[in-house]
């Protein structure tokens, strides 16, 4: 959270294991919800949207909390990978390796799953702003929708990469089911908003 964006991207581009896809997805989601805040700020106080003022103020409060949470999850995702990296380094003939690896895989799945939960709340803001936000900033609503949808698709990959290796298949399958339900919810809402915005601007839906 405390790095300049160019330093973060340098680290992301390097051979270092973190930050990786989970952190990148969370950052993209944070950018998306920051756009929601921008649209809400551009709408707040405008006479044309006075009937939505209370709703817009609520959006601003929610968006700020969600953005900060997504930034926290960048760090949480990186921290969760450390035990997994150590578990992979344990000799395969170590009798405790399988248990430690399984626990580490489950721990490494928590942050990307939490990212998805947070993005689902972000997608609700996108839907609300698509009808209540300033028309002058409607393209930014479309951008937010695209980023939050992409962030969800990226985050779920970081669930799958861990569940694929779990020996507790009931736990893995249950987590996969919950994750894909979230992704479908997020992308359904965001992609629909994106298409509506694109058509309203004379473009074509994806």
| pLDDT tens-digit readout, 154-174 | 999 999 999 999 999 999 999
Residues 198, 202, 203, 206, CA torsion sign? positive
Supply 50's token pair: 């006075």
Alpha helices by DSSP H, listed for the chain, are: 5-13, 21-43, 53-88, 97-132, 138-163, 169-200
Find all residues with CB under 8 Å of 198, minimum gap 6, and list them: 142, 204, 205, 206
**Number of domains, the chain:** 1
- The answer to whether residue 125 sits within a structural domain is yes
Supply 28's token pair: 């993209």
- The answer to whether residue 34 sits within a structural domain is yes
Tens digit of each residue's pLDDT (9 = 90 or more) over 91-120: 888 888 889 999 999 999 999 999 999 999
- The answer to whether residue 206 sits within a structural domain is no
Structural domain of 65: 5-200
Biggest CA–CA distance in the chain, Å, is 70
Provide the CA 84 distance to its chain's centre, in angstroms. Answer: 21
Supply 9's token pair: 């991207």
- The answer to whether residue 11 sits within a structural domain is yes
Instruction: Check whether 178 has a pLDDT greater than 90.
Output: yes
- The answer to whether residue 162 sits within a structural domain is yes
Supply 12's token pair: 């992301």
**pLDDT reported for residue 174:** 98
Q: What is the CATH number of the domain that holds 55?
A: 1.20.120.680
Pick from 205, 62, 189, 61: nearest CA to 131: 189
- The answer to whether residue 205 sits within a structural domain is no
Instruction: Check whether 1 has a pLDDT greater than 70.
Output: no
Q: What is the mean pLDDT of residues 39-62?
A: 98
- The answer to whether residue 15 sits within a structural domain is yes
Instruction: Check whether 3 has a pLDDT greater than 80.
Output: no
Residues 90, 15, 7, 141, CA torsion sign? negative
- The answer to whether residue 127 sits within a structural domain is yes
């Amino acid at each position: 959270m405390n790095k300049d964006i160019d330093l973060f991207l340098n680290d992301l581009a390097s051979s270092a294991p973190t930050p990786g896809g989970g952190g990148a997805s969370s950052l993209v989601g944070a950018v998306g919800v920051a756009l929601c805040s921008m649209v809400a700020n551009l709408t707040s106080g405008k006479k044309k949207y006075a009937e939505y003022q209370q709703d817009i103020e609520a959006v601003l409060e929610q968006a700020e909390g969600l953005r900060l949470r997504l930034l926290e999850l960048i760090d949480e995702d990186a921290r969760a990978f450390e035990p997994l990296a150590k578990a992979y380094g344990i000799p395969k003939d170590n009798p405790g390796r399988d248990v430690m690896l399984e626990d580490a895989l489950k721990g490494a799945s928590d942050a990307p799953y939490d990212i998805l939960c947070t993005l689902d709340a972000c997608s609700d803001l996108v839907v609300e702003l698509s009808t209540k936000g300033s028309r002058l900033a409607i393209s930014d609503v479309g951008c937010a929708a695209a980023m939050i949808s992409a962030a969800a698709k990226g985050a779920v990959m970081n669930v799958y990469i861990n569940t694929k290796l779990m020996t507790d298949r009931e736990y893995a399958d249950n987590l996969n089911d919950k994750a894909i339900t979230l992704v479908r919810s997020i992308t359904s809402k965001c992609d629909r908003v994106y298409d509506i915005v694109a058509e309203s601007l004379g473009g074509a839906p994806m």
